[in-house]
Structure 1
Amino acid sequence: MVTGPTLVGHLMNWGLFGVLTVQVYIYYISFPKDHWRLKGVVFFAYILEIIQIILSTHDAFRVYGSGWGNPQELDAIGLVWVSIPILDSLISSLSQMFYSWRIYTLSRNKWLVGVILMLALVELGAGIYDGVACLHLNSLIEIPTKTYKSTIVWTGAAALDEILITCSMFYYLRKAKKDSRTKRTISLLSHLIKLSVETGFVCAAVTIGGLILFVASPTTTCYEVFAICASKLFSNCFVAVLNSRVEIVGGRNAPAAEELEWAVSTGAATRKSRTAAAERGAAGVLRSASMGAAGAGARVFGKKSVGSLSRGITVEITTRRDTDVDLLEMHSPSMGTLDGESIKG
């Protein structure tokens, strides 16, 4: 058995766990108003990752610490049966179920979502079966021969599901981008397309890489480099998508808070002041001051203004917020607007 790749896998596992901890903390302080179910998924995944890191570290210490130089410890199953197949499949299927819901809010395609969920459940079932089968083995060297089929089904379903999710997100986000007419929405969708392709490609590449090494080199533990840290990649990509809503105030990509429009027209004779709370995608009038006496009809930006005829000058300051689609806002039933059309969640 080759021990070097396994040690690399454990080191990568700890490094990715540190990144995940920072990601979860950023999510915690940035989105306190998210729905409790979404926050529950994030913290449930983090708890599973804590359990996984404890179990894998226990095995690493047993092999490279207390049992160093003992061939039996080197080839013992230990807690690998639960830390890799069961927890990996559980965490990855959890993230895939989240993506299936996001795809449904974009496409309303029940057949596509059904296929994604079916693959996630197949992956979860095969992973649990594989873990139970590994529990009854005597050594790691028996894994490629005794659990060959279940491992192929588990990792193959995970890779296929990730590819399907990545292609679906790319297609529907690109379609929404083509239909959009506002700069803010186009910028947001471009960012989401890039993030979805990058995270999906990373998860699919790691899963396929582990599967190839498992088939091509079954007598070594090279495949464990990917298997040990695979769940951390899924969790990091999942939380990174949620944290993509974070905007740096004053940053290069930060949108303008509001656009002020000045309208000069002949308006009402009486002086009036109006205040309205602007909703998403709607223009709110902050202040309207009128001067002069009643007279000829008035127009604001080519549209007739409300009020009587006037001979004076009216100055209006209007706040107009750019309509956008926040595809990651999940603390309310409405998922945002796309050029004025509501996207329901």
Structure 2
Amino acid sequence: MADVPPTIQLTGPLVLGYQFNWGLYGVLATQLYTYHQAGFRDSRLIKFIVYGVFVVETLQLIMATHDSFHTLALGWGNFSDLLEVWFTWFDLPFLTGLTSATIQCFYAWRLFVLSKSYVLAITIAAIALVQGAAAMAEGLQIFISQNVPGTQTDTFKTTAVWLGGTALCDIIICCAMFYFLSKSRTGFRTTDSVLNMLIRITIETGMVTAVVAIIELTLFLTFKHNFYHVVPAFMLSKLYSNSFLVLLNSRIITSKRLTTSETFQSHTELSISRETNRTGGMKLDLAHRTFNDDIAMVTFSDNPNKTHQNPPHDRVLCDV
């Protein structure tokens, strides 16, 4: 018991971790409702990932609530209950690794669609699968050892691979998305503003998960025999799920911006046509732009010969 820290170093991080877990779950529920109401015509695979991730996060929340009730309510005043594993081995490392690896593999697929690079996509997917497997391995190690105070020592290698691989994969995804989206700029103000918005969302969501993973790894390796690392651990899985849905739901804003731009352009063309018919001058046809948003991956092209149509909301967002 010489290595056992003061009670506050165990209960304090647990309370904060459970609160952040519930708060981020509320944000996730709102994001899912927005996605459902938007009526995106996504493929069955994407919808399976979206709703599957929400089911996994709900299961994680139920298990974490069970642990918090047993630790902080039923076990109040009993120090040994603070050192019980309960479902922590499964709801923290195991489910977090499953969620993060799934979402990172999704990003690898989207980057392949954007860049047509097998090397980049396979590299990202490989790192994602390795870190996910390491997270699951850590969960099994904790379950087998049942040694909460010695968790940092027993799972040092697997945790380093898990969280280090998570941060590395997120950084690669952010850099690659920034590079390829930046190359897609066309010079048109509207299209470039949409691209800038997508770049900003990608960097913000990707870097948040990478920074939290680094913070968790640092706390895990620096502070022995306490629960400081539990706070970011409870946040990591929900942050991945929220960032994934934020990226998908950003198509709503993209569609509105483009619809507004196309409406303005149509009115401009109509005004020019009427004016030229009255004066007998030259009729000016503005070049039309076609927009294709493939899960927040955009391509723009100028096609003056194509008849302009103002596609409905779900067609602008494109099937995948």
Question: Is the counterpart of residue 6 in structure 1 residue 31 in structure 2?
Answer: no
1:273 matched to which residue of 2? none
1:309 matched to which residue of 2? none
**Secondary structure class of the residue paired with 1:338:** strand
* Cα gap change, 1:129 to 1:248, in 2 (>3 Å): closer
Structure 1 residue ranges without an equivalent (≥5):
267-288, 290-297, 302-317, 330-334
Deviation string, structure 1 residues 204-226 (Cα, Å, up to 9, x no partner) = 00000000000110221100001
Normalized per residue, which structure has more strand?
A: 1
Counterparts in 2 of 1:287-298, with a 5 A limit?
none
**Secondary structure class of the residue paired with 2:273:** strand
**Secondary structure class of the residue paired with 2:184:** helix
Mapped contact 1:105–1:344 kept (Cα < 8 A): no
Superposed displacement of residue 256, structure 1: 4.6
Superposed displacement of residue 231, structure 1: 0.2
2:205 matched to which residue of 1? 199
Normalized per residue, which structure has more helix?
A: 2
1:209 matched to which residue of 2? 215
Mapped contact 2:289–2:302 kept (Cα < 8 A): no
Deviation string, structure 1 residues 206-263 (Cα, Å, up to 9, x no partner) = 0000000001102211000011121000000010000101139988995352523133
Question: Which protein has the larger Cα radius of gyration, Structure 1 or Structure 2?
Answer: 1
1:339 matched to which residue of 2? 301
Letter in 1 for 2:131: E
Superposed displacement of residue 154, structure 1: 0.8
* Cα gap change, 1:253 to 1:11, in 2 (>3 Å): farther
Q: In 2, distance between residues paired with 1:234 and 1:244?
A: 15
**Secondary structure class of the residue paired with 1:222:** coil
Equivalent residue for 2:30, pick from 22, 32, 49:
22
Equivalent residue for 1:101, pick from 109, 113, 118:
109
Superposed displacement of residue 128, structure 1: 1.3
Question: Is the counterpart of residue 89 in structure 1 residue 56 in structure 2?
Answer: no
Q: In 1, distance between residues paired with 2:293 and 2:218?
A: 38
1:235 matched to which residue of 2? 241
Q: In 2, distance between residues paired with 1:207 and 1:184?
A: 35
Mapped contact 1:181–1:339 kept (Cα < 8 A): no
* Cα gap change, 1:39 to 1:344, in 2 (>3 Å): closer
Letter in 2 for 1:197: I
Equivalent residue for 1:328, pick from 278, 290, 295:
295
How many pairs does the alignment contain?
293
* Cα gap change, 1:242 to 1:69, in 2 (>3 Å): same
Letter in 2 for 1:194: R
Superposed displacement of residue 101, structure 1: 1.4
Computed over aligned residues only, the root mean square deviation of the Cα atoms, in angstroms, reads: 2.9
Percent identity between matched residues is 34
Q: In 2, distance between residues paired with 1:18 and 1:191?
A: 24
Q: In 1, distance between residues paired with 2:130 and 2:255?
A: 43
Q: In 2, distance between residues paired with 1:265 and 1:53?
A: 63
Taking structure 2 as the reference length, the TM-score comes to 0.84
Superposed displacement of residue 94, structure 1: 1.0
Structure 2 residue ranges without an equivalent (≥5):
304-317
1:50 matched to which residue of 2? 58
* Cα gap change, 1:38 to 1:340, in 2 (>3 Å): farther
Higher relative contact order, chain-length normalized (CA < 8 Å, sep 6+) = 2
* Cα gap change, 1:232 to 1:159, in 2 (>3 Å): same
Deviation string, structure 1 residues 7-30 (Cα, Å, up to 9, x no partner) = 101100000000000000000010
Letter in 2 for 1:225: V
Superposed displacement of residue 300, structure 1: 3.9
1:314 matched to which residue of 2? none
